[in-house]
Amino acid sequence: MRENHGLLSESVLNYPAFEIPIDKLFFPIVVDDRFFNSKVCEYCNTSFKCSNEYKYKSSQIVKTTIEKGQFGVKPKNFTDYTLVLSDITKDKPQGNHYLYKTIPGLKNKIFCSNECAYNYAIDKNAVITLLDMVNKAEVRLLVPQTKSMNEKIGNAYKYRGSYTGLKDLKVK
């Protein structure tokens, strides 16, 4: 007898063809439209519905340095920069380090997609910090080189931001 979480009837849960772990099942969720407001994308001017939370924040880049590197080796003078990213992985141990110096502070931004946020990063020479709800609410970064970094590491989603290990966008 399997544990019933109140989502499926007992006869369905215990039918032999349904030996799927309950945590692997997909349950659609209905979201009331009243919880969302109309917003306008700051890049493409598209109107869209979203919550009041700011998913994106921006910081101006004042200096960018790209240097060749290898897996496990820190770039030179990395402490002189605000942010260091790379297209180097264990599977692709040779690549580039991308070092950025930014203006302190983050400004809230409204974008309808990561693609618009990425294009804004290119046009304004900015780092975009985003809360990626698809990937366990991880904080990720979009920079003008994001697309080329993703291509070099073989990531099929070209506008996926770089992983930070952070879980919120709070700035101290």
The domain ranges of the chain are 56-163
- Residue-level pLDDT at 27: 62
| 95 has pLDDT over 90 | yes
- Residue-level pLDDT at 4: 45
Convert the pLDDT of each residue in 2-61 to its tens digit: 454 445 445 544 555 445 565 666 666 666 666 678 889 999 999 988 776 778 999 999
The beta strand positions in the chain, using DSSP E, are 37-40, 47-50, 56-70, 83-86, 94-102, 107-109, 126-132, 138-142, 162-163
What is the residue-averaged pLDDT of the chain?
81
